[in-house]
Amino acid sequence: MASRVTLPTPPASELFMPSKPKLKITALAGGVGASKLLLGLYAEMDPSLLTIIVNTGDDIVLHGLKISPDLDIVTYTLAGIVDASKGWGFRGETFHALKRLAVYGRPNWFNLGDRDLATHIHRNALLSEGKTLSQAADSIRTALGVKSRVLPMSDNSVPTIIDSNEGPLHFQEYLVKRRAEPVVKKIRFAGVESARPAPGVLEAIRDADRILICPSNPLISIGPILAVPGIREELRANREKVFAVCPIVGGKSLKGPSDKMLAQLGHDSSALGVAKLYADFTGTFVIDPADKSQSAAISALGMKVAVLPTVMKTLAQKRNLPCALLSLSLPLFM
């Protein structure tokens, strides 16, 4: 029977763990929305026990180069080189190459920095030599000193297409070029029916002690991962181990246009609305104290509810949530 668990927020000093927990964690992640939590986990656990399964629906080909924004955002964040104010790209980046590309009449709405371009050139060189996207992602994270495994959801191309009031748009055109202004009518993951999970993805879910769904956009960050045949089924089979952190607090997105997109597609823009999308594969749904009043309705969906501060602005908040997610013992939620 589902039960509600309200956890007091211990001061950060009490959450510092004497030794790092030896739990194998597998996280499902988009880009910017997931990064703060991933960085906290990376610091608070043995990072070699962390595997991150990343959305690649955002991938796009520009200037003949395959760009994988979420893989790069996660990798740059954990490598400590991301531009923290934007959440993507390199810190201290320059854009000389992009300006030169514009001289040739090439589109420059997607801000590819000079340092970032080296990543895309390297990835493309590997792909053209016959390597897979997984192998390219592993080469990049290893070279940048990231100790956790970073897996694309699939080695197959599965672009997220937004059917909007302006017609079909690639997700990056919708988000970056059109600044999420078009009205979303439908979201498609092109070719997903024949896509396969990347090597290691299903095993990472199966073998994990705990599976975390990061506070990423449920529709266009977590949604594409769940749509790859086999992944949602594997999560369902391991439901008791799945902890999903809600990306909506007080009806608003922690990051990006999740709230607007949920509403435009007829979902509730609330913790309960997200819980309904995750109920079939989530054991414990983590909500912020601001949404405590929705606990009973979420429990009624068959999930346990943990109430934890999910907004991560201060240093203490950035440590508290990952520490709490690592130290919650499963029996507490039975």
Q: Say how many CA atoms lie within 13 Å of 61 toward its Cβ.
A: 6
Task: Say whether residue 176 binds ligand FO1 (CB under 6 A).
Answer: yes
Which residue number is nearest to ligand FO1 in terms of Cβ? 31
Q: Both tokens of residue 281? A: 């594969």
Q: How far apart are the first and last CA of the chain?
A: 8
Among the listed ranges 65-73, 143-151, 206-214, 308-316, the one in contact with ligand FO1 (CB under 6 A) is: 65-73
Question: Does 32 participate in binding ligand FO1 (rule CB under 6 A)?
Answer: yes
Binding of ligand FO1 by 152 (CB under 6 A): no
Our CB check for ligand FO1 shows the closer of 69 and 283 to be: 69
Q: Which of residues 113-142 bind ligand FO1 (CB under 6 A)?
A: 116
**Minimum distance from CB of 5 to ligand FO1 (Å)?**
30
- For residues 323 and 21, give the distance between their C-alpha atoms in angstroms, rounded to a whole number: 10
Q: Which residue pairs, CB below 8 angstroms and at least 24 apart, start in 162-169?
A: 162/186, 162/187, 162/220, 163/187, 163/188
Strands 160-164 and 149-152: unpaired
Among 15, 29, 74, 112, binds ligand FO1 (CB under 6 A): 112
Q: Tokens 């991301």 map to which residue?
A: 82
Between 215 and 283, whose beta carbon lies closer to ligand FO1? 215
Is 30 near ligand FO1 (CB under 6 A)?
yes
| Beta-bridge partners for 304 | 284
Query: Does 224 engage in binding with ligand FO1 (CB under 6 A)?
Result: no
Cβ 30 vs Cβ 258: under 8 Å:
no
The residues with which 28 forms a beta bridge, in sequence order, are: 53, 213
Tokens representing residue 135 in the block: 């192998």
Q: Binding of ligand FO1 at residue 198 (CB under 6 A)?
A: no
Considering the complex, state which of residue 111 and residue 314 has its C-beta at the smaller distance from ligand FO1.
Answer: 111
Number of helical H runs and strand E runs in the chain: 14, 15
Q: In this complex, which beta carbon is closest to ligand FO1, that of residue 176 or of residue 330?
A: 176
Q: Does 150 bind ligand FO1 (CB under 6 A)?
A: no
Element (H, E) at 160: strand 160-164
- Residues numbered 245 to 304 that lie near ligand FO1 (CB under 6 A) are none
Q: Interface with ligand FO1 includes 184 (CB under 6 A)? A: no
Q: Is 59 in the site for ligand FO1 (CB under 6 A)?
A: no
Q: What are the φ and ψ backbone dihedral angles of 84, each rounded to 5 degrees?
A: -65, -25
Query: For ligand FO1, which stretch binds (CB under 6 A), given 18-26, 29-37, 161-169, 201-209?
Result: 29-37
Nearer to ligand FO1, 66 or 131 (CB): 66
The reply on whether position 72 binds ligand FO1 by CB under 6 A is yes
Q: Do residues 76 and 144 touch, judged by C-beta distance below 8 A?
A: yes
70 binds ligand FO1 (CB under 6 A): yes
C-alpha 189, offset from chain centre: 16
74 or 308: whose CB is closer to ligand FO1?
Answer: 74
Smallest gap, in angstroms, from Cβ of residue 71 to ligand FO1?
A: 8
C-beta closer to ligand FO1: residue 137 or 306 = 137
Q: How many CA atoms lie within 13 A of 235 on its CB side?
A: 27
Smallest gap from Cβ 234 to ligand FO1, in A, equals: 23
Q: Measured from the CB of residue 32, what is the shortest distance to ligand FO1 in angstroms?
A: 5
d(CA 140, CA 228): 23
> How far is Cα of residue 49 from the mean position of the Cα atoms in its chain?
18
Give the nearer residue to ligand FO1 in terms of CB position, either 254 or 272. Answer: 254
Tokens for 167, please give them: 């017609």
In the complex, which residues of this chain contact ligand FO1 (CB under 6 A)?
Answer: 30-32, 58, 69-70, 72-73, 88-89, 110-112, 116, 172, 176
